[in-house]
Amino acid sequence: MDAIILQVLNGLDKGSAYALIALGLTLIFGTLGVVNFAHGALFMIGAFCAVTLQRILSISKVTLSETKKNFLGQPSEIKTPYVESWFGPEVGASIIDWSVPLAIIFSIPVMIIIGVIMERGLIKHFYKRPHADQILVTFGLAIVLQEVIKYFYGANPIPTGAPDVFKGSFDFGVMLGYEANAIIYPYWRLVYFGFSAIIIAAVFAFLQFTTFGMVVRAGMADRETVGLLGINIDKRFTIMFGLAAAVAGLAGVMYAPINSPNYHMGMDFLVLSFVVVVVGGMGSLPGAVLAGFMLGILESFASMNQVKAILPGIDQIIIYVVAIIVLLTRPRGLLGRKGVMEE
């Protein structure tokens, strides 16, 4: 039993990332009808927002030490980050320490702007073109974004730590009455899961309970009629694209401490996220979330030693196998709506 709980927990953080990216993909697909292959790149840019903020905060004033000398006999340099000299050493140090959570605030406007530019500048021109063209142009864009990041940040992963408070892990098993060390779970992964649950809830609440969301939902169902009613649906859809970009970006920001950001992390997640979207059902938001968590948990179950002993390496292909089975038995995906993407 404890092993099962552990695997469910392990699956949650990866599942959260899948769910968030798939949610954004579905938002874009449901509103604009565009298959966005550059969505993984947005996830990666989010992670690099965290890296960037950490670097900005750590910009230091260099002073020469009066007492210490380096090996050449010259006075050695002391680096004091500006934030420390402005807010005092303790507050400053904790600001730097908390740079990843702070990057959430930093990344939202950045991601929305990137998303809106992408939609207005490029994707707008592809609504009338076939899906294959949309895939191709966003695929090209993904390559470009990835290479730009690689040019500025290099090809190596950049470790970006979580705040010290969240370092280490806690013993989940003791709380449930198991012996110590049976279920150990890192704090940050729990934070990640909680965070993504909040984001998912917020997106759903936004669509369900605000007038804006209502209009968007109406537009998803029947764009033409909403347009005929005199509502500027294009503008709203552009904002939804920005929102979807922000969701992907936030997923990336918070993922930075779990997996050091590197330039190809977006592509790695993208392929799986597409599979998640298809399994959940194209255009279905609850389906994307459900499939994201389901596949994340399945993946971690498949990596259990007991399972691997019977079917070696099943953990690497389980998602694809499930996707193929789902697509063949339920062509619309788990929660797919009728009439969406049926050619």
Partner 1 sequence: MLGLNKKDASLLLVVVILTMFAPFFLNPFPTESAMAQFNAGYPDLMQRFVIFGIFAIGFNLLFGLTGYLSFGHAAFLGVGSYAVVWMYKLLDYNVLPGLLLAVVVSAIFALAIGYISLRRSGIYFSILTLAFAQMMFAISYSDLIGRFLGISLTNGETGLQVYTSDPQVLLNDWETVPHLLGLIEMRSTYTLDLAGWSFDFNAGYYFCAFVMILAFYLAIRIFRSPFGLMLRAIKSNQQRLNYTGLNTRPYMLAVFVISGVYAGLAGGLMASMDPLAGAERMQWTASGEVVLMTILGGAGTLIGPVLGAGFIKYFENIFSKINENVLHTWFNFMPDGLENFVVAIIYPFIGKGWHLTLGLMFMMVVIFLPGGLVEGGQRIAKLLKRGKKDDDGANTATATKPAE
In the list 59, 89, 271, 330, the residue contacting partner 1 (rule: CB under 8 A) is 271
Tell me if 205 contacts partner 1 by CB under 8 A.
no
Residues 139 and 133: their CA atoms lie apart, in Å, by: 10
Cα–Cα distance, 154 to 182 (Å, whole number):
39
Q: Is 127 among the residues that bind partner 1 (CB under 8 A)?
A: no
Q: Quick one: which segment of 61-69, 80-88, 125-133, 299-307 binds partner 1 (CB under 8 A)?
A: 125-133
**By CB under 8 A, what part of segment 42-71 binds partner 1?**
none
302/296 Cα distance (integer angstroms): 10
Q: How far is the CB of 137 from partner 1 (least distance, A)?
A: 5
- Examine residue 330 and tell whether it contacts partner 1 (CB under 8 A): no
Considering the rule CB under 8 A, would residue 137 count as an interface residue with partner 1? yes
Give the span between the Cα atoms of 139 and 143, in whole angstroms.
6
Tokens linked to 338? 């009728």
- The smaller minimum CB distance to partner 1, of residues 96 and 136, is found at 136
Does residue 201 interact with partner 1 by CB under 8 A?
no
Comparing CB distances to partner 1, the nearer of 85 and 316 is 316
Is the distance from CB of 283 to CB of 340 less than 8 angstroms?
yes
Is residue 264 within 8 Å of residue 145, measured between CB atoms?
Answer: no
Q: Is 214 in the site for partner 1 (CB under 8 A)?
A: no
Residues 313 and 298: their CA atoms lie apart, in Å, by 13
Q: Which is nearer to partner 1, 79 or 131 (CB)?
A: 131
Residue 309 is a binding residue for partner 1 (CB under 8 A)? no
Kindly tell me which of 61 and 308 has the beta carbon lying closer to partner 1: 308
61 DSSP β-pair partners: 80
Site size with partner 1, rule: CB under 8 A:
41
Buried (b) or exposed (e) across 157-187, using 16+ Cβ within 10 A? ebebbbbeebeeeeebbeeeebeeebbebbe
Is residue 147 part of the contact set for partner 1 (CB under 8 A)? Answer: yes
Q: Decide: is 274 part of the binding site for partner 1 (CB under 8 A).
A: yes
Q: Does 317 bind partner 1 (CB under 8 A)?
A: yes
Cα atoms in the 13 Å half-sphere on the side-chain side of 49: 30
Is there binding between residue 307 and partner 1 (CB under 8 A)? no
Q: Does 131 bind partner 1 (CB under 8 A)?
A: yes
CB atoms within 10 A of CB 242: 22
Q: How many Cα atoms sit within 13 Å of 291 on the Cβ side?
A: 32
Binding region for partner 1 (CB under 8 A): 35, 122, 125, 130-133, 135-137, 139-144, 146-148, 151, 267, 271, 274-275, 278, 282, 311-314, 316-317, 320-321, 323-324, 327-328, 331, 341, 343
